[in-house]
Chain A
Amino acid sequence: DQQVKQNSPSLSVQEGRISILNCDYTNSMFDYFLWYKKYPAEGPTFLISISSIKDKNEDGRFTVFLNKSAKHLSLHIVPSQPGDSAVYFCAASEAGANSKLTFGKGITLSVRP
């Protein structure tokens, strides 16, 4: 039972354009959401997060949007750069301190020069 779904396995975007990575979840107990970026043979690197009390969080080129009623979040990267090419994982945790993370399967982003 996949509680966090990243339905598009891959995305290809031209350098300078916007990348939009989508994520859906089914567990209504999730209240904190994170995006991680992962290069081959490395561990995931934390990018940005959002609490369920917010609908938007921005950090430089990265913005995460949360739509609780639709159980949907998205990561926007603008402008996209070739160095952004990696696998992006959406993750979620339930309320309470230090809860385990539930990950989606990831989206492979390719940014074309």
Chain B
Amino acid sequence: NAGVMQNPRHLVRRRGQEARLRCSPMKGHSHVYWYRQLPEEGLKFMVYLQKENIIDESGMPKERFSAEFPKEGPSILRIQQVVRGDSAAYFCASSPGLYYNEQFFGPGTRLTVL
């Protein structure tokens, strides 16, 4: 019974490069959430997606960040032209569907921007 999977676990990018973070939800889960954790902070909501739809992107920076959850394959969080301030742990969570409040988290991707 595989949990939420994220890859890569660690990602190093130079300023100006693109970062792609992948998330495969738990089997049977069709709702995906992305959160970011800066050092010494709690997790901050970024975006909530269902298959092929963005439901809530109120926590996503307006520029350089985008997310998708295609019909087939994992959810992708894309950060273009990364800057040092993007260095953080990015966590993906999934839930099975409507009226289910608990979210189950993956191990995270630690992005370091040099």
Chain A residues within CB distance 8 Å of chain B: 4, 6, 32, 34, 36, 41-46, 49, 89, 91, 93, 97-106
Contact B56 A100 (CB under 8 A): yes
Chain B residues within CB distance 8 Å of chain A: 4, 6, 31, 33, 35, 40-45, 48, 55-56, 58-59, 91, 93, 95, 97-108, 110
Q: What are the residues of chain A within 8 A of B58 when measuring CB–CB?
A: 100
Q: What are the residues of chain B within 8 A of A103 when measuring CB–CB?
A: 35, 42-44
Q: Which residue of A lies closest to B106 (CB)?
A: A43
Further 7 A-B residue pairs, CB within 8 A, beyond A4-B42, A44-B43: A42-B107, A44-B91, A46-B105, A93-B101, A97-B101, A99-B101, A100-B33
A89 to B45, CA, bound (A): 14
Contact A100 B91 (CB under 8 A): no
How near does chain A come to B104, taking the closest CB pair, in angstroms? Answer: 6
Q: What are the residues of chain B within 8 A of A91 when measuring CB–CB?
A: 43
Q: What are the residues of chain A within 8 A of B41 when measuring CB–CB?
A: 105
Q: What are the residues of chain B within 8 A of A46 when measuring CB–CB?
A: 102-105
Q: Which residue of A lies closest to B102 (CB)?
A: A46
